[in-house]
Amino acid sequence: MTPFSPLVSPVSAPPALDAQDLRKSYGRGKRRFAAVQGVTLTIAPGQVLAFLGPNGAGKTTTIKMIAGLIRPDGGWVNIAGKNPHRQPQALQGVGAVLEGNRNLYWRLTPLENLEYFGVLRQMSGKMARRRGQSLLASFGLLDKQQVPVQKLSRGMQQKIAIAPP
Ligand SMILES: Nc1ncnc2c1ncn2[C@@H]1O[C@H](COP(=O)(O)OP(=O)(O)OP(=O)(O)O)[C@@H](O)[C@H]1O
Ligand SMILES: [Mg+2]
């Protein structure tokens, strides 16, 4: 991914996210290659940023560096003024990161997934089922409760993936 400068809204509040000159290489020796080469992003509170690029451009690697999941080789990150690599509480204001949808069982229905994860978290089967139905209702997915997750749209899958147990 090569450097670029996103549009920044003219809001004077301190940035919600400030990432400067992020860099990351993978591999060793001759196989070493730069996945992210100097990405700078600033997002003001309330601003929406679309971060687009072709497959393999380095988007996920950049987001992992922002979320403190991998250490950048260069550059720095601030979330609401804190460095997530040194102060994990910086991530408390990050609601959810939806990267893919691997955390669901594809052949199970949304309700079966929610029941399964509810029971794993110590709920009774009955309680997990009731809770699952109420979560599906609040996401407007009651009509999909019997459809296997693999036949839902990506956005529907993502709603189920973030549904709290
Ligand atoms: N853990 C890793 N080890 C080695 N190479 C990696 C690793 N993770 C990602 N890469 C490589 O880094 C490059 C950027 O990958 P990344 O996952 O950041 O791309 P992306 O922009 O999110 O792509 P996509 O749109 O397909 O999700 C790719 O060439 C990928 O193969
Ligand atoms: Mg990706």
- Give the Å distances, CA to CA, from 2 to 57, 97, 150: 9, 23, 34
Position in ligand 1 atom list of the atom nearest CA 70: 1
Phi first, then psi, for residue 73 (nearest 5°) are -75, -25
- Tokens representing 57 are 């451009």
Using CA positions, which residue lies closest to atom 12 of ligand 1? 35
Out of 2, 23, 24, 26, mutate this one to test ligand 1's pocket (max ligand atoms within 8 Å of CB): namely 26
Q: Does ligand 1 have an atom closer than 6 angstroms to the CB of 56? A: yes
- If you ran DSSP here, which 8-state letter would residue 68 be given? T
The CA R_g of the chain, rounded to the nearest whole Å, is: 19
In angstroms, what is the span from residue 62 Cα to ligand 1's centroid?
10
- The phi, psi pair for 139, rounded to 5°, reads -90, 0
The C-alpha atoms of residue 64 and residue 71 are separated, in whole angstroms, by: 8
Cα atoms in the Cβ-side hemisphere of radius 13 Å centred on 12: 0
pLDDT of the residue at 162: 84
pLDDT for residue 56: 87
Q: What does the pLDDT read at residue 44?
A: 93
The pLDDT assigned to 81 comes to 86
Rounded Cα gap, residues 46 and 64, in angstroms: 21
Task: Using CB atoms within 10 Å of the CB of residue 157, give its burial: 0 to 12 exposed, 13 to 18 middle, 19+ buried.
Answer: buried
Per-residue pLDDT of 36-70, as tens digits, reads: 999 999 999 989 999 998 888 999 899 999 988 89
**Low-confidence stretches of the chain (pLDDT beneath 70):** 1-12, 98-102, 164-165
Q: How many CB atoms lie within 10 A of CB 81?
A: 11
Strand-pair category, 33-43 with 17-26: antiparallel
Mean pLDDT, the chain, integer: 87
Specify the residue with its C-alpha closest to ligand 1, atom 1.
26
pLDDT of res. 102: 66
